[in-house]
Amino acid sequence: MTTLHAIVLGIIEGITEFLPISSTGHLMLASTLLKLQQTEFQKSFEIIIQLGAILSVVVLYWKKLWEWGTIKKLIAAFVPTAVLGALFYKIVKGYLLNSNLTVLWALFLGGVFLVGFEWWYGRREGILPRQPADQNDSAAVANSNEIENISYQKSFIIGLFQSLAMIPGVSRSAATIVGGLILGLKRKTIVEFSFLLAVPTMLAASVLDLCKSAGSFVGADWGALAVGFIVSFVVAIGVIKWLLHFIQKHSFIGFGIYRILVSIAFWLVLW
C-alpha cells in the first residue's frame, strides 16, 4: 500500500463512517478498484483507520463522553456488540471481509430497507417522507430527546442493532439509527448516540485486531496506517458537523437510493 492509497482510503473512511452507507463496505470496494489485495494488513487497515474517524467524536463530544449518565448508557449498548464481536471475530475477518459479494448484497438490501423504513416511518409520524421525524413533536417521543433519558433496555437493544454491522455493507450508523427510531427516539438523539457509541465499539475492535495482527506488520505498514488514521480523523470532523445540519431537513431516503445505485454499479463493474 502506498501513501496515496492510504490518503484515498482515509478520505473514504472519514466521509462514510457516520453516514448510513457502510464505511467498511466502501473501503473494501475501493480497495478492489485500487487493486489492493485483501491481505491481513489490508483488512486490519480497514478496521483500524475507523478509529481515526471515531477520534473526531472524542474531540467534538469530549464533555458529553465524561457524563456518567451517558457512560452508563453506552456501556449497556456496547455489551452485546462486544460479546458477539469476540465470538464472531474469526468469521468476520476470515470470511466476510474477503467477500465483495456480501458487501454488494448488504448495500443493496440495506438501501431498499432504508428507503422503505423511512417511507413507513414518515407515514407513521404523519410527516412527508423527505422530512426528518424530529419535526414531529408528538408525546410519543417527547421524553426521549436526550441521551441521558434513554433507558438501559433501549440502550441494550440499540447495541443489538449495531451488532448487525459485523456484516460488511450493513453500516453501523444505519443499524443503530434505525434501531433508535424504531424504539421511539428522536432523530438527532439517536444520531448523536450513534456517534458516541462508535467510540468504545471501534476502540475495542481496533485493540482486538492489533493484539492479534500487529506482530505481522512491517515498518511501511505502520506509516500507511498513520496516514490513513490522520486523514480519516480530519475528514470525519467535517462530516459530523454536516450530518447534524443535514438531518434537520432531510430523511435518509437519499442514502438508501445511493446504496442501491452503488451496489448495482459495482456489480456491473466487478462482474
**In a 3-state reduction of DSSP, which class is residue 107?**
helix
Which regions of the chain are under pLDDT 50?
A: 133, 135-145
Q: Are 81 and 163 in contact (CB under 8 A)?
A: yes
Q: Which structural domain range is residue 229 located in?
A: 3-270
Residues 6+ apart with CB under 8 A from 176: 158, 161, 162, 190, 193, 194, 197
pLDDT in the model for residue 134: 53
b or e along 170-185 (b: 16 or more beta carbons within 10 Å of the residue's beta carbon)?
bbbbbbbbbbbbebeb
Number of domains in the chain: 1
pLDDT in the model for residue 130: 54
pLDDT in the model for residue 210: 82
